[in-house]
A and B are shown apart, each in its own frame.
Chain A
Amino acid sequence: MSGTRASVRISLSSLRTHKRRFMGTVSAVLLGVAFLAGTLVMGDTLRASFDDLFDTASSGTDTVVRSSDAITTSDDAVGTRQPVDTGLLEAIEKTPGVAAAAPSIEGNGQLLDADGKGLGGEGPPTVAGNWIADEELNAYELAEGRAPRASGEVVVNRGVADQGDLKIGDTTTLRTPDPVQVKIVGLATFAGEDGLAQVTFTGMTRADAEKYLMPEPGLAATLVVRGEPGTSQEQLTQAVAAQLPGGVEAITGEAAGEEAMENNTEQFLGLFTTLLLVFSGIALFVATFSIHNTFAIVVAQRTRENALLRALGASRRQVLGSTMIEAGVVGLLASAAGLAGGIGIAAGLQALFPAVGFPFPEGTLVISALSMLLPLAVGVVVCLGSALLPAVRAGRTAPLAALRENTVESSGASRSRALTGTVLGAGGVGLAVLGALGGGAVLLTALGALLVLIAFVVLGPVASSSAIRALGAPARRMRGISGALAQRNALRSPKRTAATATALMIGVAVVSLFTVFASSLKATMDDTVSRNFAGDVAVSTPGFGDGGSGFSPRMEPEVRQLPEVDSALGLGNGVARIDGKGAALTVTDPGRLQSVMHLGEVSGSFQNFGTDGLAVSEQKAEDEGWKVGSKAELAFADGEKQTFTVRALYETSELTGDYVVTREAWEPHRTQESTRLMVVSFKDGVETGSGQAAVERVAQGFGNPDVQTRDEYIETSASTIDMMLTLVYALLALAVFIALLGIANTLTLAVHERTRELGLLRSVGQTRAQLRSMVRWESVMIAAFGTVGGLVLGGFLSWALVTAADGQSSTPFSFAVPPVQLTVVALVGVVAGLLAGWRPARRAARLDVLRAIATE
């Protein structure tokens, strides 16, 4: 249609003429799309690389034999399997088609460096096992040195050796968790890499592995089988399966590799990519506001042009169409550039990861159609969606507007807006508060939070006038006339000021939400430990995820012997299936539990549990309908089922979990024995410092677990949160940066619009410095408005969510506002505003006075 052609021609020529105006929009879309595409490409690449890695590593294994039952809990998706009897090997080796078979013993073993610090354990597991002689069956291959032959000799993966500065011939300690003196005789690689990502591996002799990692000799985690050439994995697996007793299964090496991949990396990768996607979503959401604003301003500035077009006979649709085509072209170009940027980001990270000690498997970038088309579509849709309202407004331009004086778009603070916003806001706050206080309906709160967010956006223009008036007061005082002029400029178009600030507001709101949430989480931990912990020091091996080995249960009796110590009690882990669901058990001496831990209200007795006594948290007992004296059936990984009697109920369960059994009850079902936490309380009159030193001396003989005072223990527990928060901040920086681009862009457009005013000001004596200061202060005021709004919004939302979470979970969740961090967020917001105004201010100051006053 010729009508459309006209629209296209108009929009293209307008784009060419006003390239600069769209720089901000292009940057916002570009950054968002680049982040999104980068995430997808990196996720695909990592996945493919790991896939490759596991394929290579497990290519020699055709069949894996293991116990068929795995007990999984909410914290452990891999699950616990009973070891298999190595006696089965004899029958397997005789099976036709089998070339070789070996036991694969695997357990937890953390190496210590020369200073006695644990290596690895920050997420990925710390694995110890037997060094399998058959090269094909061993996932690791020897890179240097030799295989372990004598007891105490080990091969370690090269990554952990580098990390701990360990060399062949060095002697160190391996926590299994009993400390074992080991001598490194070889270094291993995993499919050619220094390791399987950050997983640490220690290979020992079979006898050592059986001794330290298995409850008794003759057991192995799995049996690995290699077939003769010409035998398919399926054939071999079927043949082997026929030899196995009940409760033991055989799966193909391929399936095992996939499972290992799934367990080891898929979850991590899934989490990682989801996190990145969420943050690119936030960035693009923020970008939407900046883009919308740009188009709104451009359309307003072009009122006369559009009116002329209308007067000359362009239809509404043509004017609307030309704006939309502009948006589409901008979106397409920016997104295309963003894709290139995204691939660049992925390539950069691939190069960067190894440099920071994360062995990123080598491999070409995997660029799938999806990871290109999705960001492209999102970029274009974001652009079109943001431009829709301004385009409609452009279409509505009255032909007569061409004749009127070109006035700046003004006021958006209509009564209906104020009313809508207030109703939405009140409804949202109501829902959020109801959800938060009314017993923790997180969904209700989330819905309320969403409404509050919308209300903030709607109310922005209404609030911006009074906010800028209030925020401008200090600027007027500090900067006199420049401050006052800046304030008037910011007040000119409340709608524009609000829209500009909204992008930053959302960014800051998310930042403060996470900040408050993290500080609440820390406060919760603090409270938890304070409420639960009756001892003076805690002994543990820090680590999270699957990391950390725990330490030897044999340390507890020695600590109890110390003259300083009043009581010491270790907590270990067990697992069983209760009522069909996997559950973590705390294994300890229940009789002494109350001497080192506050358990709140307690009913029944913790004495004489024997091998069938069970203590249950009140919350769990209520869920299951148990009382003291009730019977509960526990099914263990070894297939044994045993009926336990509920002997005691306790109120606070943060450190003990929901179930407590005795060591004696757990002993027959355990694989590796380990203590995760030991609480020690000192005798009256013993100073914490000297007591701590005494316990530390004992700890040295047990692989050096950390001995920490209560405060230190809390700090360590919370350090994970700080680490996560840092990551979140880094990711949110993008959203905040895009918001700042938006402010800079709005100001640039405003400067352009006010050319004549600026010329006038300069001619009647405004110095360049004053002019710059004026533009910068406008920027600061907009930023301050957005920041304050964001802090209020983020603060309220985090309160509502934390309170709702508190109501919903069985354990109390504290709400804590971190004043220092929030002040920093506020300052950063304002300083960022100053930076955002820098370039527009410089550009404005460079204006030629004569040309400015001669415009039109």
Chain B
Amino acid sequence: MTTDLSTGIAARVIDAVKVYGTGDTEVRALDGVSVDFHVGRFTAIMGPSGSGKSTLMHCAAGLDTLTSGEAHIGGTELSALSDKRLTLLRRERVGFVFQAFNLLPTLTVAENITLPQDLSGTRADPAWTDTLIDVVGLRDRLHHRPSELSGGQQQRVAVARAFAGRPEVVFADEPTGNLDSQSGEEVLGLLGRAVHQMDRTVVMVTHDPVAAAHADEVIFLADGRLVDRMEGPTAERVLDRLKAFDHGRTRQEEVPT
């Protein structure tokens, strides 16, 4: 798998710190994480529960704000943005796929796909939307409501929606967490194809080594710190790396990038 690190950076965080609570109840969910997500790359974020992987994603995507440090989408620094600007940024430059409940039950499949463009009052690029619909294979379901779709189909619609606005980066939070392995495979395949065939950028949080194996690179978080990176992961290697966390948590020192 070739990766071109000289291409631009779609999203990055620098010295990201996120603290919840104060005093005795203080929790450092992120404790000085710096990471770049390059354009045209599929990155997986892994780590044990409470490692801060979801927080990292939320902060990088503009859903949450950092306590200190910087988060960038393209060339835009997020901490300076108002709620309104952040919202517009999410709408126009970021795509999301959540674990569940990705779709509005009142809208049809087609309407769900173009929702971000409809919110901004712009017209979705019909050719691009069309391509996406074919890629996710839901042409015959366009006028169905989410409640009429299977879980896998719903997640495929979510993937189509995430890419519909050609965002600079798509964040996926456990997109296969609620799916059986076959449906999960389909969704991951879609994400992979979007990155490699359509030159998109995806950042995915997952705890599933099989899912992570679809990525170009895996970064490992533990206790709010970046502890390892792995190029060209396979499920076995990722699993081994994760086991290393569990067995005594010996290698907690920071790994140089």
Contacts and interface: CB of A to CB of B under 8 A. Distances in A.
Interface string B62-97: 011000000000000000000110011011100010
Contacts of A481: 115, 118-119, 121
A114 interface: no
A530 B90 CA distance: 70
Interface residues of B, number: 27
Contacts of A491: 106
Report which residue of A407, A480, A849 has the largest number of chain B beta carbons within 10 angstroms of its beta carbon.
Answer: A849
A764 B98 CA distance: 11
Interface string A748-765: 000000001100111111
Most chain A CB neighbours (cut-off 10 Å) among B83, B88, B104, B106: B106
Interface residues of A, number: 26
Contacts of B34: none
B119 A488 contact: no
A850 B20 CA distance: 13
A764 B118 contact: no
A492 interface: yes
A765 B64 contact: no
B168 to A, nearest CB: 13
Contacts of A808: none
Interface in B98-129: 98, 101-107, 115-116, 118-121
Interface string A717-761: 000000000000000000000000000000000000000110011
Contacts of A492: 106
Contacts of A757: 101, 104-105
A590 to B, nearest CB: 75
A431 interface: no
A850 B102 contact: no
Contacts of A766: 87, 91, 119
A335 to B, nearest CB: 38
Contacts of B118: 480-481, 484
Contacts of A767: 84, 87-88, 119
B165 to A, nearest CB: 9
Interface in A470-486: 480-481, 484-485
A764 B147 contact: no
Given A408-B105, A760-B104, A765 B83 contact: no
Interface in A757-816: 757, 760-770
B147 A407 contact: yes
A853 B87 contact: no
A489 interface: yes
Contact of A760 (B83, B98, B147): B98
B119 A770 contact: yes
Contact of B91 (A489, A765, A853): A765
A848 to B, nearest CB: 9
A480 B96 contact: no
Interface string B217-256: 0000000000000000000000000000000000000000
B106 A488 contact: yes
B38 interface: no
A22 B64 CA distance: 32
Nearest to B114: A481
A410 to B, nearest CB: 10
Nearest to B92: A765
Pairs of residues from A and B, 5 with the lowest C-beta to C-beta distance, nearest first: A765-B91, A488-B106, A481-B118, A767-B87, A765-B116
Interface of A: 407-408, 480-481, 484-485, 488-489, 491-492, 756-757, 760-770, 849-850, 853
18 contacts: A407-B147, A480-B121, A481-B121, A485-B107, A488-B107, A757-B101, A760-B98, A760-B103, A761-B119, A763-B63, A763-B96, A763-B98, A764-B90, A765-B87, A765-B88, A765-B119, A766-B87, A853-B98
